Structure 1
Amino acid sequence: MSEQKSNSMIDITDDPNLWERIFMVHSLLVIGSREKNGDYNMAPKHMAMPLGMGPYIGFMGTPRKTTYQNIKREKVFTVSYPQSDQLVFSSITASSRDEEDEKPAILTVPKVDAQKIDGKFIKGSYLQFECTLHEIMGKFGEWEMIVGKIVAAYVHEDAIRKEGIEADDASLISNNPLLAYLHPGRFSIIKKSNTFPLPKDFKI
């Protein structure tokens, strides 16, 4: 095995802010949950992903956050993937709570009702999931993985992929750009894409 001797590489192993030293691309989504008083909370997340190839999605949460406590209590949550022109709504959902532990700014975000669970989506978001709590797992410092089972899924008619020979994924993404979060603290709108050069006969 060759040794890592390149002078271009900087050792950041012991850096307490490891993930702040580089940029990484993440999906930007908004988690919806029901408050104890019956109101609805929304919070943006980037440490989130599908889990396996089935109807499961997970994101990182911490007990000190209201979203974690809401989901643990109510056992359900929603997921909204904002369209590229909904960045402001995503930002508003990150607003701080006031002295009464409420987020009044959330009221300015247009919403639609979930159908199978008690929850709300960002109106116009291109991908929406209704989830029941599957489990809360792991301990990663103060963070835990909140896993939801998708019981209902909706995609905007302009964003759904066609199957077969007529599929034109490049045009689909170009016409319906994706909103990405570049941690830490930046965003990008993805319009241009290329087919990934997988080896012949590659299978997942």
Structure 2
Amino acid sequence: MSSTILNLTLSSDEPLFERVFTVSPLVLVSTLEPDGTPDIAPKHMAGPLGWHGFYAFVCSPSHGTYANAVAREAFTVSYPTPDQVLESSLAAAARAEDATKPMLAALETAPAQVVDGVLVAGAMLHLECELDRVLDGFGDNSLVIGRIVAAAADERAVRSIDRDDADIVHGLPLLVYLSPGRFAKIDDSHAFPFPTDFRR
């Protein structure tokens, strides 16, 4: 079997992940400001950390999301649907001169059930997290890690032995972020060809 040598070398001194497209989830991380108002920010460097109820996202210490999560020791995560891509984009709008984010009024929210915070209504998956730890020092970024203490999902998104996985994805498509700067809707999927003796 012949191998293919990639013929364009990318320098590690430049932003590597701005030169090629990669697929990530698009989530909305919500925290509470010091005055109790919600702050919601889209994140794509986010996901479960292992198999035991930890969730993490990358954030800069200069961002309100980081400061709020540390101060309140909690955050929530909402997985928007493709129909919510515009609202998700508005959550990335810059703050006004008074440090508020007026565009967040376009996002309908509901109170979290366990932690102090809000969830984005209409999302396919909701996670409520208590802050576990923060790892600083990844350049200008940090890894914010939480323990999932509550979770809820749209019934249509939940896998079961009575429903084919492909039908679930087709019936409730997934919103993904194609970094940098694009998004996609996944409504078609195929079973991965694991070896017969594969174990997690």
TM value normalised by structure 1: 0.94
Partner SS state of residue 88, structure 1? helix
Tell me by how many angstroms 1:167 deviates.
3.3
Partner SS state of residue 67, structure 1? helix
- 1:184 alignment partner AA: P
Tell me by how many angstroms 1:15 deviates.
4.3
- Give the CA RMSD over aligned residues: 1.5
- Tell me whether 1:198 sits opposite 2:194 in the alignment: yes
Question: Which residues of 2 match residues 111-122 of structure 1 at below 5 A?
Answer: 111-122=109-120
Which of residues 15, 18, 21 in structure 2 aligns to 1:23? 21
> What fraction of aligned residue pairs are identical, expressed as a percent?
39
Tell me by how many angstroms 1:14 deviates.
3.5
Matched with 1:169 is 165
Structure 2 residues not aligned, in runs of 5+: none
Matched with 1:106 is 104
Matched with 1:125 is 123
Tell me by how many angstroms 1:137 deviates.
1.2
Matched with 1:189 is 185
- 1:127 alignment partner AA: L
Matched with 1:14 is 12
Tell me by how many angstroms 1:138 deviates.
4.1
CA distance in 2, matches of 1:138, 1:106: 28
Tell me by how many angstroms 1:64 deviates.
0.7
- 1:11 alignment partner AA: T
Tell me by how many angstroms 1:34 deviates.
0.2
Matched with 2:66 is 68
- Tell me whether 1:153 sits opposite 2:151 in the alignment: yes
CA distance in 1, matches of 2:192, 2:108: 36
Partner SS state of residue 70, structure 2? helix
Tell me by how many angstroms 1:118 deviates.
1.1
- 1:201 alignment partner AA: D
1:14 to 1:158, Cα distance in 2 relative to 1, 3 A = closer
Question: CA deviation digits over 1:111-145, x for unaligned, max 9?
Answer: 11101111111101010001000000142101111
CA distance in 2, matches of 1:158, 1:94: 28
Tell me by how many angstroms 1:54 deviates.
1.1
CA distance in 2, matches of 1:99, 1:138: 28
Aligned length: 199
Structure 1 residues not aligned, in runs of 5+: none
TM value normalised by structure 2: 0.96
CA distance in 2, matches of 1:55, 1:14: 33
CA distance in 2, matches of 1:5, 1:200: 28
**Post-superposition, which runs of at least 4 consecutive aligned residues in structure 1 deviate over 4 A?**
none
Matched with 2:176 is 180
Tell me by how many angstroms 1:5 deviates.
7.9
- 1:181 alignment partner AA: Y
Tell me by how many angstroms 1:13 deviates.
2.6
